[in-house]
Amino acid sequence: MRSNAATVAAALQVPEEDIREGRPGELVLDVNAQALPGLADRVSQELEGRLMSLFASDERDQTAQFRLHYVWSLPRFQTFLLLSAPINPARPSFPSIAAKYPAANWFEREVMDLYGLVPDGHPNPTRVALHEDWPDGAWALRKDFPEDRNVPRVPGDHHPFRPVTGEGVFEVPVGPVHAGIIEPGHFRFGVAGEPVLYLQLRLFYVHKGIEKRFERLPWRHGLFLAESISGDTAVGHALAFAHAIERLGNLEVPPRGQALRVILLELERIYNHIADIGALATDVAFTVPASRAQALREGLVRTQDQVFGNRLLRGTIAVGGVKRDLLPEGREVLRTHLRAFGKEFERLIALLVDAGTFTDRVDGTGILTRQAALDLGIVGVAARASGVDADLRRDHPHDAYESLQFKIPVEDGGDVRARLMVRAREVEQSLEILDQILDSLPDTTCATELPEHLPPRASALGWVEAWRGPCTHFVATDERGEIARVKVTDPSFLNWPGLVHAVPGNIIPDFPVINKSFNLSYSGNDR
Amino acid sequence: MIPDAFLTIGASLLQAGGMLAAAPLLRTAIKKMKARLQNRQGPPLLQGYYDLAKLIRKEPVRSETASWVYVAGPRVYFAAAVAATTLVPVLVAVAPLEAAGGILLLVGTLAFGRFALATAALDTGSPFGGMGASRDMTIAALAEPALMLGLFAQALAAGTMNLGVLVRALVQQGPSWHPSDLLAFAGLFIIVIAETGRIPVDNPATHLELTMIHEAMVLEYAGPDLALVEWASAVKELLYLTLLVNLFMPVGIATSVETEALFVALMAWTGKVFLLAIAVTVVESTNAKLRLFRVPELVSVSLGLAFLALAIRFL
């Protein structure tokens, strides 16, 4: 049997020795930037690869060059493929693949905004990560851009919204400030009466420069920042960051730590999914199930507070394991609560799907076709609801998932109903997983000892299938073993374009429920 | 002997004042019952009054682009709702201003208020106001004929369009289980749900601007302007329920102005309105909101029911 590296090399038509297995489950190939479009074709066609992230790093102090990184998931080989290409600062551009692979669209523009590297041949090379009031030439992620530099605002509002014209067609601007407690984002609908013809998004109102901030933090402190990237994914992002550091430092997480991480990640999945299911009911004014779901979520987060000391499971993940052990009493509390939760949850779902007035609102609403989901590189719950069978827990197993029995629920509808049902089925699977793992917690320590320093000039990828979808963190160190670059990819960044495609053809009053069925993070997207 | 004119004015003021005073309580009671059905405590029963008092004390914030139409909207809407209360018999089988007109005047007065509010919503040029106004008018275009047909079906029973005369005739007749009564009641109940902006037609509790109908129209209003709109909506709701109970359950209505009869009438009216409020609560709690384009279908059903009720009267 040929090794993964050999098969991949053959498919990409490159010499086998060029492909390094940097770390388990992570193949690395250094290439020339001009070869990237051709390689993208081969990765996508021959290896069924899916683009998970694309970013640059500034290595001018070491190699006098920028470097571009393309992270492809190769589920067939249970490995990631990192294509990396040097970019000469004298000619700061690279060939775009966005026209053929729309998943690269925002990534490439983000590289342009933050590094000043221009994607040649990009169909729409405008700002995305920074707004037009940010001055040209201030490339924030370059190493020579000081973290505390004050940047003057360019006056005026010159965001180029694409005009939507025609008889009886008008534009409805919504946001960035919304009613209710949600984050800022601007939606612009082109409508003919109630039906939506076209939807444009403007995000990144809460861009906080998190990736830049990581570079100034001692690596042990990075976890706290990672936890805050998106408040509802504290475990997911903390774990992805911890994975990256552990793989960098060749740290082995003890089995009990791995098992507890699975418990935390699945609890996060459950409490978010139940909140979303309730929110879908709220959005169509189905009040009784909505408050039942709220009560279920509240009960669960209180139990989490009791058992892990924090309602939303912050401060539970540690680099090298977990911070807090689960004591036998806590295990009993959790088990009892989850049993009751499971029964209540079943009744709640029955209440929803048996109500004609509810299903009438969610069936056929906001359809994202399988083809669109594949083309756009949609991930997570949204992808699985459009018939794309992908889940990092199975495709690139992390923590204790390899030893667990669970199914990956996939629905074909691509509508609000399908996204609801994927969530419902996932909660059931999570309860199964918790049932298995609570019965067989290994008897080891919870965390491993940390080294004084990380290896210098090294890099690694950390990934987690969090509740919304895959979170990936790429971490690279400098010559002192401190953090030189962290690239955070939240599933929201990949999925927002999916919303743009799911909405047209629906009517405006159905937008909130479609938006909620995706429930994407602004904070995680904007970083 | 007090001249008739003074009597009419006095009765009108008394009835309008009473309806204004009672209306916020009805809204809060429905909120409270909804909350109880969701295992929540809900607001205190006087919350409706607290809210109005709070809004009235606040400064009105108006858009710079708004004209007098915007300022006039809530005032006309409020005045129309208050005027409408004098056209309907509440406790006594007499409408204070029944000499002025009957069913058509009532429907017309309410439609005038709605027109004023919809024009005001368009006035600021905000996208939500326009959206709300267009949706509200679409539904009204179907709901108003249905309302009239339903009322006509009852009017035919007594052969009069005058609500005072009609209620007196119905009281004499006693409760009726004629199929026409049942059909007209069902039709009008749907209209009441639609006209008062309740689930499954509209959601009075939502924060999602894009889904709103009535709330989208008044989204820009603040302070005393908003208080007028809210208060008038509450009065309208109480008025519709009163109309339903007095036309279809004419029990306990006072036929004289003796203290005892008035007391019985007050108790009966409160009880009947409360029963209907429970029905509204149950409908709101067991249904999700309809897709906007399904609302006309629902309203058409009520139009159909009212038409059948009317047809049966001729059989």
Residue-range definition of the domain harbouring residue A12: 4-120
Whether residue A178 is predicted with pLDDT greater than 50 in this model: the reply is: yes
Query: Which chain A residue has the Cα nearest residue B134?
Result: A193
Q: What is the DSSP string of A290-352?
A: HHHHHHHHHHHHHHHHHHHS-TT-TT-EETTEESS---HHHHHHHHHHHHHHHHHHHHHHHHH
Count: domains in chain B: 1
Question: Taking CB atoms and an 8 Å limit, are A194 and B127 in contact across chains?
Answer: no
Q: What is the pLDDT of residue B1?
A: 54
Pick from A173, A178, A509: which is nearest to B211 by CB? A509
Residues A97 and A241 in one domain: no
Q: With beta carbons under 8 A apart, name residues in chain A contacting B284.
A: 287
Pick from A283, A287, A509: which is nearest to B34 by CB? A287
Q: With beta carbons under 8 A apart, name residues in chain B contacting A281.
A: 288
A112-143 tens-digit pLDDT: 999 989 999 999 888 888 888 888 888 989 88
Q: Which among B126, B220, B291, B298 is the top mutation candidate for probing chain A, defined by the most A β-carbons within 10 Å of its own β-carbon? A: B291
CA distance B246 to chain A (A): 31
Preceding omega of A176 cis (within 30 degrees of 0): yes
Give me the total of CB pairs closer than 8 Å, taking one residue from chain A and one from chain B.
Answer: 82
**Between residues A367 and A18, the one the model is more confident about:** A367
Write down the residue that tokens 């059909």 correspond to: B183
CATH code, A441: 1.10.645.10
Find the mean pLDDT for residues A222-232. Answer: 92
| Confidence class for position A174, pLDDT limits 50, 70, 90 | confident
Pick from A174, A179, A511: which is nearest to B207 by CB? A179
| Confidence class for position B99, pLDDT limits 50, 70, 90 | confident
Whether residue B217 is predicted with pLDDT greater than 80 in this model: the reply is: yes
A177 lies within 8 A of chain B by CB: no
Rounded CA separation A520/A517 (Å):
9
**Between residues A182 and A296, the one the model is more confident about:** A296
Question: Taking CB atoms and an 8 Å limit, are A287 and B285 in contact across chains?
Answer: yes
Q: What is the pLDDT of residue A424?
A: 94
Question: Taking CB atoms and an 8 Å limit, are B211 and A283 in contact across chains?
Answer: yes
B256-289 tens-digit pLDDT: 888 888 999 999 999 999 999 999 999 999 888 8
Whether residue A191 is predicted with pLDDT greater than 60 in this model: the reply is: yes
Q: With beta carbons under 8 A apart, name residues in chain B contacting A171.
A: 127
Rounded CA separation A180/B110 (Å):
32
CA distance A289 to chain B (A): 8
B47 lies within 8 A of chain A by CB: no
A392 contacts A464 by C-beta, under 8 angstroms: yes
Residues A11 and A110 in one domain: yes
Question: Taking CB atoms and an 8 Å limit, are B288 and A358 in contact across chains?
Answer: yes
Pairing of strands A483-489, A79-87: unpaired
- C-beta contacts of A6-14 below 8 A and 24+ residues apart: A7/A77, A8/A47, A8/A74, A8/A77, A8/A79, A8/A81, A11/A42, A11/A43, A11/A46, A11/A47, A12/A39, A12/A42, A12/A43, A12/A46, A12/A47, A13/A42
Pick from A174, A291, A361: which is nearest to B288 by CB? A361
Rounded CA separation B121/B127 (Å):
9
Residue-range definition of the domain harbouring residue B24: 4-314
Write down the residue that tokens 């021959």 correspond to: A46
Pick from B38, B208, B293: which is nearest to A288 by CB? B38
Question: Taking CB atoms and an 8 Å limit, are B292 and A194 in contact across chains?
Answer: yes
Find the mean pLDDT for residues B223-243. Answer: 94
User: Residue A49 falls within a domain, yes or no?
Assistant: yes
Pick from B39, B131, B284: which is nearest to A291 by CB? B39
Other Cβ atoms within 10 Å of A96 Cβ, number:
22
Q: Helices then strands (H, E): number in chain A?
A: 18, 15
**So what's the ipTM on this one?**
0.81
Q: With beta carbons under 8 A apart, name residues in chain B contacting A169.
A: none
Pick from A287, A295, A511: which is nearest to B210 by CB? A511
B87 lies within 8 A of chain A by CB: no
CA distance A287 to chain B (A): 6
Q: Helices then strands (H, E): number in chain B?
A: 11, 0
Q: What is the pLDDT of residue A4?
A: 81
CA distance A172 to chain B (A): 6
Identify residue B177 by its one-letter amino acid code. Answer: W
User: Residue A304 falls within a domain, yes or no?
Assistant: yes
CA distance A297 to chain B (A): 15
Question: Taking CB atoms and an 8 Å limit, are A173 and B127 in contact across chains?
Answer: yes
| Confidence class for position A17, pLDDT limits 50, 70, 90 | confident
Q: With beta carbons under 8 A apart, name residues in chain B contacting A179.
A: 207-209
B45-91 tens-digit pLDDT: 999 999 999 999 999 888 888 899 999 999 999 999 999 999 999 99
| Confidence class for position A226, pLDDT limits 50, 70, 90 | very high
For A342-351, B23-32, B203-212, B279-288, which range has the lowest pLDDT when averaged over its residues?
A: B203-212
User: Residue A448 falls within a domain, yes or no?
Assistant: yes
Helices A287-308 + A328-353 axis angle, to 10: 170
Mean pLDDT of the residues in chain B: 90
B171 contacts B253 by C-beta, under 8 angstroms: yes
Q: What is the DSSP string of B56-103?
A: HHSPPP--TT--HHHHHHHHHHHHHHHHHHTTS-SSBSS-TTTTT--H
B144-203 tens-digit pLDDT: 999 999 999 888 888 888 998 888 888 888 877 888 888 999 999 999 999 888 888 888
Q: What is the pLDDT of residue B117?
A: 92
Question: Taking CB atoms and an 8 Å limit, are A283 and B287 in contact across chains?
Answer: no
A77 lies within 8 A of chain B by CB: no
Q: With beta carbons under 8 A apart, name residues in chain B contacting A360.
A: 288, 290-291, 294
Whether residue B208 is predicted with pLDDT greater than 50 in this model: the reply is: yes
Question: Taking CB atoms and an 8 Å limit, are B288 and A285 in contact across chains?
Answer: yes
Whether residue A475 is predicted with pLDDT greater than 60 in this model: the reply is: yes
Q: With beta carbons under 8 A apart, name residues in chain A contacting B126.
A: none
B210 lies within 8 A of chain A by CB: yes
Query: Which chain A residue has the Cα nearest residue B198?
Result: A285
B121 contacts B217 by C-beta, under 8 angstroms: yes
B302-314 tens-digit pLDDT: 999 999 998 988 8
Q: What is the pLDDT of residue B2?
A: 62
Pick from A288, A361, A512: which is nearest to B210 by CB? A512
Query: Which chain B residue has the Cα nearest residue A180?
Result: B207
Rounded CA separation A260/A268 (Å):
12
Question: Taking CB atoms and an 8 Å limit, are B286 and A288 in contact across chains?
Answer: yes
| Confidence class for position A162, pLDDT limits 50, 70, 90 | confident
For A468, B11, B81, B85, B201, the CA distances from A50, given in Å and listed in that order, are: 17, 77, 61, 66, 44
Residues A316 and A463 in one domain: yes
Q: What is the pLDDT of residue B160?
A: 87
B67 lies within 8 A of chain A by CB: no
Q: 3-class DSSP state for residue A527?
A: coil
A360 lies within 8 A of chain B by CB: yes
Residues A446 and A311 in one domain: yes
CA distance B269 to chain A (A): 29
Residues A115 and A223 in one domain: no
Query: Any idea what DSSP says for residue A71?
Result: E
User: Residue A379 falls within a domain, yes or no?
Assistant: no
CATH code, A14: 3.30.460.80
Q: With beta carbons under 8 A apart, name residues in chain B contacting A170.
A: 127
B137 lies within 8 A of chain A by CB: no
Count: domains in chain A: 2
Find the mean pLDDT for residues A108-113. Answer: 92
| Confidence class for position A1, pLDDT limits 50, 70, 90 | very low
Identify residue A355 by its one-letter amino acid code. Answer: A
A388-428 tens-digit pLDDT: 999 999 999 888 898 899 999 999 999 999 999 999 999 99
B37 lies within 8 A of chain A by CB: yes
Q: With beta carbons under 8 A apart, name residues in chain A contacting B131.
A: 172, 508
Question: Taking CB atoms and an 8 Å limit, are A286 and B288 in contact across chains?
Answer: yes
A121 contacts A36 by C-beta, under 8 angstroms: no
Q: What is the DSSP string of A91-147?
A: S-EEE--TTT-TTHHHHHHHHHHHH--EEET-SS---SSS-TTSPTT--TTSTTS-T
